[in-house]
A and B are shown apart, each in its own frame.
Chain A
Amino acid sequence: SAVISQKPSRDICQRGTSLTIQCQVDSQVTMMFWYRQQPGQSLTLIATANQGSEATYESGFVIDKFPISRPNLTFSTLTVSNMSPEDSSIYLCSVEDLGNTGELFFGEGSRLTVL
């Protein structure tokens, strides 16, 4: 299993500002995944972050809006840039089981409210 810590757990932000979310894992992992969960909705994958290479973004998400860093095998950040109220969501960090079962472990999420 993996224990994932996210910071901040929640924040209220002003329109036009940017916020960086941190994700720390208690073990080394190859890939980390960032998801977005809008109010009352399911989870949508934003991007996959590999250590030592550029993140891979899903359709509808771009690096300028959601820059991601992956400086080592236990840490990643997601920045939500130039925020608007539509960016109000829960952002979740996830990693895959080290035993390669395909199971995902999730952080508690970061709930962002943009005013």
Chain B
Amino acid sequence: LAKTTQPISMDSYEGQEVNITCSHNNIATNDYITWYQQFPSQGPRFIIQGYKTKVTNEVASLFIPADRKSSTLSLPRVSLSDTAVYYCLVAPGGGGGNKLTFGTGTQLKVEL
């Protein structure tokens, strides 16, 4: 499974856009990139998944360059409630019992 590297922590203010970048240099051809969000005392929650280029949903956007060796999670106009740990994971997509390996995650702190 591809190893991921992301910043340990980031600080932001309400209303700003936050971009969290994840490096996955040895990503495989059939790997997908998935981001999870975890609040204290809760299990991680799926945010977004992508394979290449750009994916957008109601919560975030995911930008993946052509070489797929990195990806950027973009959170538009963050609020205090976006304070959480964000995990970038890389694993074969399509299900079939694939086990996701969680890296260190990025602790995002949003302030007023």
**Chain A residues proximal to chain B, CB less than 8 Å:** 4, 30-31, 33, 35, 42-45, 48, 92, 94, 96-97, 99-109, 111
Chain A residue contacts of B91, Cβ below 8 A:
102
Q: Is the CB of B49 within 8 A of A102?
A: yes
A-B CB pair tally, cutoff 8 Å? 62
Interface of B is mostly: loop
Q: Is the CB of B102 within 8 A of A43?
A: yes
User: How large, as a class, is the contact surface on chain B?
Assistant: 20 to 34
Q: Is the CB of B94 within 8 A of A102?
A: yes
Which residue of the partner chain, among B45, B96, B97, contacts A48 with CB atoms under 8 Å?
B97
- Closest residue of chain A to B47 (Cβ to Cβ) is A103
Which residue of the partner chain, among A42, A103, A108, A109, contacts B102 with CB atoms under 8 Å?
A42
Q: Is the CB of A109 within 8 A of B104?
A: no
Chain A residue contacts of B46, Cβ below 8 A:
103-105
A93 to chain B, nearest CB (A): 8
Given A96-B95, A103-B46, 8 other A-B contacts at CB below 8 A? A42-B105, A45-B99, A94-B43, A101-B93, A102-B92, A102-B98, A105-B46, A109-B42
The CA-CA distance from A106 to B37 in the complex, in Å, is 11
On whether A45 and B97 interact (CB within 8 A), knowing A102-B49, A109-B42, the answer reads: no
The CA-CA distance from A43 to B98 in the complex, in Å, is 16
